[in-house]
């Protein structure tokens, strides 16, 4: 009988201990469930994840989920902040600007934190290449001296140039906030417009009386043009004359074979030397050598008194 009583007491003890353990476990589970909170973590690439945690500190929650920030990353709120259930941790780069715009109504009530957060926006940079026109200039050449009876003649048409400009542009909320030049490359140089101011002439016959009057002084009126050492004028660009000399502005002229090489000619009061020939230089025509094509165009066509210097 005593053995049965002892066995019954032992069973009762086991049952009581089991009940106590079950109650303790239930209380622990309830306590754990009470401390857990749901938190959303938004990664920099936009991916969102929701986690259940008993932690409150941002850095602890990231560590619990094996999330490690790069050197150029930060969190909103910061790592030392405490958050509650339902809050969001956002991971972004450190260039993300938190621009707070606090609007105060006439009653003096500030906007809510959520309204301020809507004004936070990252600054993005873009490299932009634009083509920019280089306007040409107009150059006026006056060949009339003090004469007032003049007319304008365009000897070279102008043409705009073109350059490529590389900019670094900063945007916020798709609005340009800063633009700076990185480099400029000229694609096409502009061509200047050249306008020559010259005396008015009604016809070629107006020059003939001057020719006869000039002949009375022992000279003859010639058609005087100009050329330079470029390929347009000479078909070459060596600067060598038909006589083998180097052409020099203010000295060298091209004339027909009626004038031997070395002949000195007084042309409009200036003495030149015949050192060159030309396919288009014949009869009463003489070409004066100048340094540039622009000077040749500026000279145009003139009729001047020419005489041989003995």
Query: Does any domain span residue 23?
Result: no
Task: Please state the pTM of the whole predicted model.
Answer: 0.32
Burial pattern 151-181, b for ≥16 Cβ within 10 A else e, equals: eeeebbebeeeebeeebeeebeeeeeeeeee
Tell me: do 208 and 304 sit in the same domain: yes
Question: Is 53 a domain residue?
Answer: no
- Is 35 domain-assigned? no
Cβ 277 vs Cβ 271: under 8 Å: no
Phi, psi (deg, nearest 5) at residue 294: -65, -40
Residues 268 and 190 occupy one common structural domain: no
What's 111's DSSP letter?
Answer: P
Do 234 and 282 have their domain in common?
Answer: yes
Task: Out of 47-51, 74-78, 149-153, 206-210, pick the least confident.
Answer: 206-210
Which of 146, 169, 195 is where one domain is finished?
A: 195
Whether 231 is in a domain gets the answer yes
In-domain check, residue 245: yes
Would 1 be classed as within a structural domain? no
* Residue 209 shares a structural domain with residue 280: yes
CATH number of the domain encompassing residue 151: 2.20.230.10
Q: Which range, 18-32, 170-184, 231-245, 252-266, is most confident?
A: 252-266
pLDDT band at residue 30 under the 50/70/90 scheme: low
What separation in angstroms does the CA of 197 have from each of 143, 148, 149?
Answer: 6, 10, 10
So what's the pLDDT on residue 151? 80
163 and 213 housed in the same domain: no
Domain assignment present for 76: no
Compute the distance between CA of residue 98 and CA of residue 177 in angstroms, rounded to an integer: 16
Average pLDDT over residues 130-153: 78
Could you give the CA distance from residue 92 to residue 67 in angstroms, rounded to a whole number?
13
| CATH number of the CATH domain containing 268 | 2.40.40.10
Least reliable range by pLDDT among 150-159, 270-279, 296-305: 150-159
Q: How many domains does the chain have?
A: 2
The pLDDT tens digits of the residues spanning 52-107 come to 888 889 999 888 888 888 888 899 988 899 988 889 999 988 876 654 444 444 44
Containing domain of residue 277, as a range? 201-308
Share of the chain above pLDDT 90, in %: 16
Q: Assess whether 177 and 276 both reside in one domain.
A: no
Q: Looking at the structure, do residues 248 and 210 belong to the same domain, yes or no?
A: yes
Of 164, 195, 226, the residue at which a domain comes to its end is 195
More confident residue, 31 or 8: 8
Same domain, 240 and 272: yes
Both 219 and 303 in a single domain? Answer: yes
pLDDT tens per residue, range 185-244: 988 888 888 888 777 665 443 333 343 333 334 578 899 999 998 877 877 777 788 888
pLDDT at 109 over 50: no
Average pLDDT, the chain: 78
222 with 191, same domain: the answer is no
Alpha carbon of residue 131 to chain centroid: 7
Q: Which of 195, 229, 256 is the last residue of a domain?
A: 195
| Encoded tokens for 300 | 């145009």
Quick check: is 38 in a domain?
no
For residue 268 the two structure tokens come to: 């409009």
């Amino acid at each position: 009988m005593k053995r049965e009583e002892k066995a019954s007491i032992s069973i009762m003890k086991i049952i009581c201990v089991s009940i106590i353990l079950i109650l303790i476990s239930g209380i622990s589970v309830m306590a754990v469930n009470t401390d857990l909170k749901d938190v959303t973590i938004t990664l920099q690439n936009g991916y969102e994840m929701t986690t259940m945690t008993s932690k409150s500190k941002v850095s602890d929650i990231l560590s619990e989920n094996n999330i490690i920030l790069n050197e150029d990353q930060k969190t909103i709120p910061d790592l030392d902040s405490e958050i509650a259930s339902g809050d969001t941790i956002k991971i972004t780069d450190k260039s993300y600007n938190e621009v707070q715009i606090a609007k105060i109504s006439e009653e003096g009530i500030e906007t809510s934190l959520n309204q301020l957060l809507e004004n936070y926006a990252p600054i993005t940079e873009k490299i932009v290449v634009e083509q920019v026109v280089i306007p040409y200039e107009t150059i006026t050449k006056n060949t009339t001296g003090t004469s007032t009876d003049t007319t304008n003649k365009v000897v070279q048409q102008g043409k705009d140039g073109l350059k490529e400009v590389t900019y670094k542009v900063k945007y916020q909320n798709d609005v340009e906030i800063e633009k700076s030049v990185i480099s400029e490359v000229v694609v096409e140089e502009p061509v200047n417009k050249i306008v020559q101011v010259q005396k008015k002439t009604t016809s070629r016959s107006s020059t003939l009386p001057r020719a006869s009057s000039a002949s009375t002084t022992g000279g003859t009126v010639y058609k005087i043009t100009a050329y330079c050492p470029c390929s347009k004028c000479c078909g070459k660009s060596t600067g060598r004359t038909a006589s083998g000399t180097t052409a020099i502005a203010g000295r060298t002229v091209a004339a027909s074979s009626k004038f031997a090489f070395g002949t000195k000619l007084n042309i409009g009061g200036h003495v030149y030397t015949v050192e060159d020939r030309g396919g288009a230089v014949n009869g009463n025509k003489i070409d004066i050598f100048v340094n540039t094509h622009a000077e040749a165009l500026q000279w145009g066509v003139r009729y001047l008194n020419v005489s041989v210097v003995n």
